[in-house]
Structure 1
Amino acid sequence: MATASKANAKVAAADDGAGSGAAAKGSKKKLIIIIVGALLLAAIGAGAAWFFMGKAQGGQDGHATAAPPPPKVDLSKPPVFLQMEPFTVNLQPENGEQYLQVAFTLQVADQSQVDYLKMYMPLLRSRILLLLASRKASEIGTAEGKQKLQTDILAEVTKPFVPNAAPQSASGVFFTSFVIQ
């Protein structure tokens, strides 16, 4: 009997060794699968972030587009100006009805910009009319308000008229008449 119980103990020990070896082999496979799955998820997440961040930065095809540099002023050439027809708009009401009559001149890079702006003049005037009509007299009555309005008008002038086109090259807005009544 002692021999049989020693033999059973050896068999049981052999089974435990084989079982623990199979368990170790199975747990290694599970660990490798988990690591590969985690790496795959991280790669997918990074790819998705790159794709969506590229779109959020303004690129049409996922690539970021750089802001155009400000127009360079060439001091060897005389300045080129485009005089705009006067604008008359109703302002946003504060203390009864008020209106703004304003005339200004744009400084542009060259004569080709003048011709281009003239070609799109209805669109340009519409943009500026909407901008002016969105203001209150108290916003544009001060010197700081007028300077901000110049900056906002310049932004509307330089905004491309056609999708994916280069912005217009204008560098200044100069008021020649400004009446709030």
Structure 2
Amino acid sequence: MAKNQSEKKNGKPWWLLGIVIIVISMASSAGVYYLLDLNTPANADDHQPEEEAKAVVAPTPIFVTVSPFTVNVQSDNYEQRLLYIGLSFKVGNEETAGLIEQNMPQLRSRLLLLLSDQNAEELTRPAGKKAVASEILALFDEPFSDPQPDLAIDDVLYTDFIVQ
């Protein structure tokens, strides 16, 4: 019986020490999880002011469409070649869109003159299409009327393009 009592007295502190170690490790694990959770990007956005947290919304693009038309183009072999082309202009504001639509007959005339001077073989290459797009943008350097506000034309987009 003396052995049994001494085992009970000596066994109890080790058992309590094991429970204390387990509780301390659980508490430290919970603390580390809490601290790491605060540094995640999802929670970092919660602490920002409302103005910064709002998503940036891209402005709605404005396009002016030129209805498709056909024009004769030059050829190396003096053959008759045709270009069927449709265009859209990406513009920066409504004022520019309105001005282009008001002067559409002048713009179409300028486009016909420019495109009829192009070489069909060059137009079939991507570099030729890019060169024509930059030439089309240069058409807007000459004003449609006097005085004319500055035009905000961002890009020339081909909607139809067939060389035959």
Q: If the length of structure 2 is used for normalisation, what is the TM-score?
A: 0.60
Given that residues 79 and 107 in structure 1 are in contact (C-alpha distance below 8 angstroms), is that contact kept between their aligned partners in structure 2? yes
Alignment match, 2:163 = 180
Deviations 1:46-83 (A, max 9, x none): xxxxxxxxxxxxxxxxxxxxxxxxxxxxx742110011
2:61 pairs with one of 65, 74, 79: 79
Alignment match, 1:92 = 74
**In 2, Cα distance between the equivalents of 1:80 and 1:140?**
27
Correspondence 1:106 to 2:106: no
Alignment match, 1:32 = none
Q: Find the residue that maps to 2:145 and give its secondary structure.
A: coil
**In 2, Cα distance between the equivalents of 1:158 and 1:78?**
25
Correspondence 1:117 to 2:100: yes
Q: Find the residue that maps to 1:84 and give its secondary structure.
A: strand
1:164 offset after TM fit, Å?
A: 5.4
1:138 pairs with one of 108, 121, 143: 121
Q: If the length of structure 1 is used for normalisation, what is the TM-score?
A: 0.55
Given that residues 75 and 119 in structure 2 are in contact (C-alpha distance below 8 angstroms), is that contact kept between their aligned partners in structure 1? yes
The gaps in structure 1 that reach 5 residues or longer are 1-74
Alignment match, 2:144 = 161
**In 1, Cα distance between the equivalents of 2:102 and 2:157?**
21
**In 1, Cα distance between the equivalents of 2:141 and 2:67?**
18
1:151 pairs with one of 93, 114, 134: 134
Give % identity.
32
**In 1, Cα distance between the equivalents of 2:61 and 2:101?**
17
Alignment match, 2:110 = 127
CA change 1:114–1:164 in 2 (3 A) is closer
- Write out aligned runs for 1:59-74 (5 A): none
More strand by share: 2
Letter in 2 for 1:121: M
Given that residues 75 and 121 in structure 2 are in contact (C-alpha distance below 8 angstroms), is that contact kept between their aligned partners in structure 1? no
How many pairs does the alignment contain? 107
Deviations 1:78-129 (A, max 9, x none): 1100111112100023221101001111001112211111111111111111
Letter in 2 for 1:112: E
CA change 1:158–1:80 in 2 (3 A) is farther
CA change 1:143–1:165 in 2 (3 A) is same
Instruction: State the structure with bigger RCO (CA 8 A, min sep 6), 1 or 2.
Output: 2
**In 2, Cα distance between the equivalents of 1:88 and 1:158?**
24
Letter in 1 for 2:76: E
